[in-house]
């Protein structure tokens, strides 16, 4: 059975996307897969891009990471065949799919370098979620923290698990 997850980029009042953007992962939704993809998208968003009109110049477009739609697009670009932008929660008054295993909440934060980065919170359903599948009926599995820190944790955890299985 596949591990299903939603990644939610909540709106932050910077554009018309007040309720945010959701990305659905039908399979491979566990933190060992999703969090490294979030880190890859975060790094991609913080990488300066070459200008079109002046290719010798580089521009910082990390401000886009603060907008839910751009952030979701960055994330989907890391695994185009395994992720999809989903409108179901927007159309069904914030209700999520009833059989989700994980909900990731990704919030933009301005870092010490004055550029955006992401803080990620990992949530799992509670018993109340079965009756009312909303973000409020989930509990925190991993508190909100910088995506790089969370990725290091899950990478170490996966490595220890692989070593235990091999032994």
Condensed to tens digits (0 to 9), the pLDDT of residues 13-41 reads 766 677 889 999 988 899 999 999 999 99
> Which positions ≥6 away from 2 have C-beta within 8 Å?
26, 27, 28, 29
Residue 131 or residue 19, greater confidence: 131
Query: Whole-prediction pTM value?
Result: 0.89
Residue 129 pLDDT > 90, yes or no? yes
The per-residue b/e assignment along 113-124, b for 16 or more CB within 10 angstroms, e otherwise, is eeebbbbbbbbe
Task: Provide the token pair at 38.
Answer: 């979030």
Give every CB contact of residue 13 below 8 A, 6+ residues apart in sequence.
Answer: none
Are 121 and 39 contacting, i.e. CB atoms less than 8 angstroms apart? no
Note the residue count of the chain. 167
C-alpha triplet 13, 19, 24: angle, nearest 5°: 130
């Amino acid at each position: 059975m596949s591990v299903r997850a939603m990644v939610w980029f909540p709106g932050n009042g910077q554009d018309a996307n007040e309720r945010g953007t959701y990305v659905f992962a039908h399979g491979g939704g566990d933190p060992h897969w999703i969090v490294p993809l979030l880190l890859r998208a975060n790094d991609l968003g913080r990488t300066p891009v070459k200008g079109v009109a002046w290719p010798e110049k580089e521009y910082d477009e990390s401000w886009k990471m603060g907008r839910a739609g751009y952030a979701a697009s960055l994330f989907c670009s890391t695994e185009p065949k395994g992720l999809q932008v989903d409108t179901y929660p927007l159309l069904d008054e914030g209700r999520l799919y009833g059989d989700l295993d994980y909900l990731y909440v990704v919030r933009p934060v301005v870092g010490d370098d004055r550029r955006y980065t992401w803080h990620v919170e990992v949530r799992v359903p509670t018993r109340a979620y079965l009756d009312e599948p909303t973000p409020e009926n989930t509990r925190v599995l991993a508190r909100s923290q910088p995506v790089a820190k969370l990725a290091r944790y899950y990478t170490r955890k996966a490595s220890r698990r692989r070593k235990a299985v091999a032994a």
